[in-house]
Amino acid sequence: MIRIDDLAFSYPGSGFSLRVPDFAVSRGEKVAIIGASGTGKTTLLKLIAGIVTSQHGAIEVDDRAIHRMSDSERRNFRISRIGFVFQELELLDYLNVFDNIVHTYRINHILTLDAEVRRRARALAEDVGLGGKLGRMPRDLSQGERQRAAVCRALLTEPGLLLADEATGNLDPANKLRIVDLLVRAADRRGATLIAVTHDHELLPHFDRVVDFAQFHA
């Protein structure tokens, strides 16, 4: 599903550099990435998703060469094939929960917001306990509820690849387990691949493999 070879990335003038000589994830595999803050775990997810591009090396996702795509090709591929749960959540304050969940469909021409998508959005919200809160604004939700809304948005396109950046950060134990269970179940239902960055070692037994990011830090 994912293949990285001889990858090199740096932010100009920052002193930060990342090297990934070789990294592969099989289709359907659930991988947790651990490691110290500031070592580039979030950057790796963004490279895989094509949000940022490397200075050197190759990244293939689902047999597609991300590093050879144009900006628009990467964007369309990400929108249609990758679900990304951002650490910052990136919910829009001026939209209610339902509109946040379906927002990607409203702003991208390659997706169509039809009755089936709306039904799926409501079903996802119901599954995470937000069925009765679809009309609420993000400011009226708890941190755990906002996190669950962000996960629903990432799952709505039924992606083949799920990327989660500290999706359980700052949550109580019950909500941490709820989020991880939701991601794992969603991956299992579609045979999707899941890569999750986490600092929470209690969650590691839910994954097939754990990768210590220290090996990639130059």
Helix axes 143-155, 97-107, angle to 10 degrees: 30
What is this structure's pTM? 0.92
pLDDT value of residue 193:
97
Cα separation, 155 vs 137, in Å, equals 20
Tell me what pLDDT residue 83 has. Answer: 94
CA atoms within 13 A on the CB side of 196: 31
According to DSSP H, which parts of 128-172 are helical?
143-155
Domains of the chain and CATH, by start: 2-216 (3.40.50.300)
Q: Is 9 exposed, middle or buried (0-12, 13-18, 19+ CB in 10 A)?
A: buried
Cα–Cα separations (whole angstroms), residue 58 to 3, 55, 66, 186, 213? 8, 10, 8, 28, 19
pLDDT score of 17: 84
Mean pLDDT by 10 residues, the chain (218 residues): 92 83 95 89 94 92 92 92 86 96 93 96 92 96 89 94 88 84 91 94 94 74
Burial of 132 (0-12, 13-18, 19+ CB in 10 A): exposed
Contact 53/65 with Cβ under 8 angstroms? no
The predicted structure's pLDDT at residue 217: 53
The number of C-alpha atoms within 13 Å of 59 and in the hemisphere containing its C-beta is: 23
Helix (H), strand (E) counts: the chain: 6, 9
